[in-house]
Amino acid sequence: MAEELKSGVILNEGEELVMEIEAEMWADDSNKIVGKINKFISALLGTHIKGFVVITNQRIIEVEDQISWYVFHTARRIRYVIPSSIMSVTYSKEPTLCCFCSKYELSYRGLTSGKTIRLQSYSDEDAQKIVDVFYKLIVSKQ
């Protein structure tokens, strides 16, 4: 029987979960100032994007669920990322408004597109492990 994950993804027969990452999907904007303004206005209106990046031994899946007016599930987007198309994977640690706290962002760039996501509740070790998992999957699929 197929296993269903927190993200709602159902694994195929013979597919093994490597990592399921819960992430904030707002950081995707190439202009960070525009992205922050967009996030602020959306928060006032009650819009939130809950996301996951699911890494299996066969594929990488991005799942985005949009919540509007604080409670209504209004959209869902699922995107398969071809591991062999990814050219770089990085993580960064940046300070937040509270200078004692840091946020982690995971970025992966490919031939035609890229994605930056904010990781929730991660440390340097956790972020490095995620980059290592991506790297191993990318190298194994080339």
Q: What is the pLDDT of residues 20-61, one digit of tens each?
A: 988 877 655 556 677 778 778 888 888 888 889 999 888 889
Torsion, Cα 97 98 101 107, to 10 degrees, reads: 0
| Contact status, residue 40 vs residue 46, Cβ threshold 8 Å | no
Average pLDDT value for residue range 80-91? 85
What is the dihedral angle through the alpha carbons of 35, 40, 42, 48, rounded to the nearest 10 degrees? 80
Cα-to-chain-centroid distance, residue 5:
15
In single-letter form, the type of residue at position 14 comes to G
**Residue 85, number of CB atoms within 10 A of its CB:** 15
What percent of the chain stands above pLDDT 90? 8
Residue 90, pLDDT > 80, answer yes
Which domains are seen in the chain, by residue range? 18-140 (2.30.29.30)
